[in-house]
Chain A
Amino acid sequence: MTIDDAAIPLDAINRLNSMREGEHRGLFTSDLSVNEFLLVREAGFTPLGLVLGSSVYHVGVQMARWSKNQELTTLSEAMYHARELAMTRMETEARALGADGVVAVRLDIEFKEFGESIAEFIAVGTAVKADPEHPLAPPGYSWHNSLGQPFTSDLSGQDFWTLLQSGYAPLALTMGTCVYHIGHQRFWQALGNVGANVEIPQFTEALYDARELAMGRMQSEAERLEADGIVGVQLRSLPHRWGGHTTEFFAIGTAIRALRDDHTIEKPTLVLPLTD
């Protein structure tokens, strides 16, 4: 143990004792993990506070033809609209704090004891402010995106740090959704497949179609932001409460823009972890 290490508890304990006296200003909350908190600070950002937006939403009812592959537009619109409401409220909180951006955003849907077709849509993240003198901060660069809003990103603190190191800046969380009804097979069709290993083109096409629609919508959101690309995309299939044949396909990712031409990062050191 070096002298420096041993000195840590002394400094820490002295500060602990002094902080216990009186009222303190400048407290902020954050749901970042310790790793994320330290990395976000190292990247030149100061957390301002936890920001949260929520909407309890009644999702309309739409009937689908039993055997037909089709998008359920009413449901797609509902999933979009409710998420937008939650996101907008979160962004409003971030703007009120004077944030440059929101990191580690989570978008969740929870069906609670409100009834059958009612769910809570919630967006949570940590608002951050950039240090303009930090070496990573490009001179004169505004962290607000092309729509003049603080940036939003669903990347973890680790990914956020790496992204900035490589000369990219997050613009906004982009998403695309499609609620799709996959048609049931007709009796004769199903009978024809009994005992055979065959592709069922109707099902394949439906799943293809739905995913392409969701990803396409996410892409057009990114185009609107004049983004260079989207990173950390997740393509989720969320069955919610609509039975086996109706599924929400949800694409979500962070649209980014290049800050400089050179995108090389320091070569990582290889380590062999001694833990599982």
Chain B
Amino acid sequence: MPAHPTSTPWSGRGLPPQAHERVERARRTQVAGSLLSAPEATALASVGFMPVGEAMGCTVQHLGWDGYGCGGGASYGWNAARTVTSGSGERWSGLGPYVAALYAGWHTAMRRLVEEATLLGADGVVDISLTETDLGSNNREYVALGTAVRASSPAAGRATRPFTTDLSGTDVSKLLHAGWVPTGIAFGIAAAVRHDDYTVRNQTAWSQRNVQVDGYTDLVNTVRHDARDQFERGARQHGGEVVLVSSMDLRVWENEPSDGHRDHYAEARFVGTAATAFRQSRTAPPRSLSILPLDRTRKTTR
């Protein structure tokens, strides 16, 4: 039985004592846990990576202030509005702290996961799943969970910091065979607000007219653009030549701070894995083999 948690509460720095205990035990007993399926484990073994244990990072954050309030900022009432995004750094970008809180959640979870993986002596963490749970009263839990892997050949040097990826073990193996190595998971998050001005109200009124709603179009395009910029910045920090987007979400909601004053909010999120080539060639070297699987034909999966 492992020692019972100490009575002094964890300071919140580094990793909780329980995490240290688990890692320490794994190192002592050489028992490596893994969340990989058999094909994934085999595929990773073919490129010389062996699982060394599960790596997890988790944090619960309280969202004290969500940036609501005067969404219109510079524009009120019936005047022409403009979209204000979290990334713009303007005086009216009250959503900045909200987005910063979301980033803090994910970055903390990822940092802890990497810390665990480093203690396990890993070179990378694959097949990371990212989950966000609303715990009520403005508390949110962020969890990153993956399998830490280590290069088995004694000749291979150690990575200064383990790479992270949300790609499956088989995908990582295919990338490595083709001369690409994942560098890290990149996030791009942005939120924006736009006041429903006269033009928007006119364009959304019940009518027989087909018309593009310029205000909303501007809102979603601006917020996505901001998120894409952030995403690219995040990927560059990891050092990547390519980022494979794994999810791309957009959430839109309405807020009515006062009577007759309506705002629309939008939040865009991009998540993906950055990768870089370690074999320089203009096109991928391996030849694909055209095969016809002898099971029930199904639609080609993407």
Contacts and interface: CB of A to CB of B under 8 A. Distances in A.
B217 A54 contact: yes
Nearest to A272: B294
B288 interface: yes
B288 A39 contact: yes
A56 B157 contact: no
Interface in B175-221: 175-178, 181, 183, 203-204, 206-213, 216-217, 219-221
A194 interface: no
A271 B217 contact: no
A9 B231 contact: no
A189 interface: no
A147 interface: no
Given A8-B47, A24-B240, A112-B252, A161 B156 contact: no
Contacts of B219: 56
A114 B264 CA distance: 8
Contacts of B26: none
A149 interface: no
Contact of A1 (B45, B171, B211, B232): B45
Contacts of B245: 29-31, 50
B153 interface: yes
Interface string A143-158: 0000000000000111
A39 B45 CA distance: 23
A23 B224 CA distance: 24
Interface string A2-28: 000111111111111101110110111
A38 B178 contact: yes
A58 B213 contact: yes
B184 to A, nearest CB: 9
A34 interface: yes
A17 B181 CA distance: 11
B13 interface: no
A57 B300 contact: no
Interface stretch (A59-67, A205-213, A218-226, A242-250): A59-67
Interface SS majority for chain A:
mixed
Contacts of A44: 283
A265 interface: yes
B30 interface: no
Contact of B236 (A23, A162, A271): A23
A12 B181 contact: yes
Given A8-B176, A15-B181, A268-B291, A30 B204 contact: no
Nearest to A157: B302
A17 B177 CA distance: 18
B284 interface: yes
B282 interface: yes
B210 A77 contact: yes
Interface stretch (A78-86, A170-178, A254-262): A78-86
A245 to B, nearest CB: 19
A1 B177 CA distance: 13
A134 B241 contact: no
Given A56-B213, A270-B294, A273-B295, A27 B232 contact: yes
Contacts of A266: 290
B163 A74 contact: no
Contacts of B250: 110, 112, 120
A168 interface: no
Interface SS majority for chain B:
mixed
Interface in B137-186: 151-153, 155-161, 163, 167, 171, 174-178, 181, 183
Contact of B212 (A6, A30, A55, A165): A55
B248 interface: yes
A52 interface: yes
Nearest to A20: B239
Contacts of A6: 48, 152-153, 155-156
A137 to B, nearest CB: 11
Interface of A: 1, 5-17, 19-21, 23-24, 26-39, 41-42, 44, 46-47, 50, 52, 54-62, 74, 77-78, 81-82, 85, 104, 110, 112-115, 117-118, 120, 124, 131, 134, 156-159, 161-162, 165, 265-266, 268-273, 275
Given A10-B151, A14-B157, 18 more contacts: A6-B48, A8-B48, A13-B156, A15-B181, A20-B161, A24-B276, A56-B212, A56-B220, A58-B209, A58-B213, A62-B208, A120-B220, A162-B290, A266-B290, A268-B292, A270-B292, A270-B294, A273-B295
29 contacts: A6-B156, A8-B47, A9-B156, A13-B156, A13-B157, A15-B278, A16-B163, A17-B159, A19-B276, A21-B239, A27-B242, A29-B243, A30-B243, A31-B272, A38-B175, A38-B178, A42-B286, A47-B242, A54-B220, A56-B219, A57-B212, A61-B207, A113-B252, A113-B254, A113-B264, A114-B213, A114-B252, A266-B290, A273-B294
Interface of B: 39, 45-49, 123, 151-153, 155-161, 163, 167, 171, 174-178, 181, 183, 203-204, 206-213, 216-217, 219-221, 224, 228, 231-232, 235-236, 238-245, 248, 250-254, 264, 272, 274, 276-279, 282-284, 286-295, 300-302
